[in-house]
Chains A and B, each alone.
Chain A
Amino acid sequence: MWWKSRFSSIGWIAYESLRVKDQGKYQPLSYFQLMEVTLRELLVEKGIITNEQVDAEVEEMRDRTPERGARVVAHAWVDPAFKKILLLDGTKACQELGLEIPALKLVVVENTPEVHNAIVCTLCSCYPRVLLGIPPDWYKSRNYRSRMVREPRSVLEEFGLKIPDHVTIRVHDSTADMRYLVLPMRPPGTEGWTEERLATLVNRDSMIGVALPK
């Protein structure tokens, strides 16, 4: 174990910094922070990447928020031709909106009055980050990951979502190279709304399938 290894200097420093209780305002780096700094500085020093590239990547990561997914959903609600492509080939449809999904394929699953879809990754925490940003902590929890495939109806009820018995539940386990997005049903009473206004209804959880648009 790393904290026992006096030969691993990084582990040892981290251990020391965790042990010291009175740390004042400036906290020493944690084990993983120190590992990140060390690795990044080495890569820059060796000319493999530049600081500017790292900054750009961090910036790009911050730009990824559920609003992107909401844009896709709202567009599908108002444009039936786009929706058709989206369900056939999610990656291609997103490209049309200027959203690139590198390397992975996006599978969009549609909620209907007969079928409710929900997404989980039982093995780790695969998530459509390009469209939804950083996954919420509960998505990565063992509780959600193990129970969502086993008793989805109880889990959804805990989220406050009671799915009627006659509605089929399809749980999608994101185990390999696909990423999933739920296309929720357009709420009634929104006829004639603009795409921008519709997008404000589409919350993150409704695109994972544990909530409905608000």
Chain B
Amino acid sequence: MLAAKYKVGEKVKVLKAYPLGHIRTPYYIRGCVGEIERVCGAFANPEELAQMRSGLPPLPLYRVRFRQKDVWPDYSGNGADVVEVEIFEHWLDRV
């Protein structure tokens, strides 16, 4: 198991990549900047599991908090509204 690279509160950017396969990083959040809400632990890589491979070693999984206004520039609700998404470490980059 790999040690988690990012800490709670740290700013991260989701990779803006479009590989084929079973990807658990939703399209709408790719390229967005958010902050680590919590480190969830390490889990088998779903992209590998979908190919009938082991998905090991487990990868750190995070919950990342994004301001809705950063995700949708025309968002009309409260500026403090957020969306929180689970993202595996290999989809994140330091800002």
**A interface residues, tally (CB under 8 Å):** 23
**Is B19 engaged at the interface, CB distance under 8 Å to the other chain?**
no
Q: Which of A1-9, A49-57, A172-180, A182-190 lies on the face that meets chain B? A: A172-180
The residues of A that contact B81 with a CB separation of less than 8 Å are 152-153, 168-171
User: Contact check: which of A105, A150, A152, A167 meets B40 at CB < 8 Å?
Assistant: A105
Total of A-B residue pairs, C-beta within 8 Å? 72
B26: which of A105, A123, A151, A166 is its contact (CB, 8 Å)? A123
Contacts of B49-63 to chain A: CB distance below 8 A: 61, 63
B6 → chain A closest CB, angstroms? 15
* B-chain residues with CB within 8 Å of residue A122 when the two chains form the complex: 26, 28
| Interface residues contributed by chain B, number (CB under 8 Å) | 26
Give the docked Cα–Cα distance between A150 and B61 (Å): 23
- B87 adjacent to chain A (CB < 8 Å): yes
Contact A173 B85, CB 8 Å, known A122-B26, A123-B26 = yes
How far is B41's CA from A25's CA once the two chains are assembled, in angstroms? 53
Which residue numbers of A lie inside 8 Å of B, CB to CB?
Answer: 105, 107, 122-123, 149-153, 165-178
Q: Told that A122-B28, A176-B24 touch, could you supply 4 new A-B pairs with CB distance under 8 A?
A: A123-B24, A149-B71, A176-B43, A178-B86
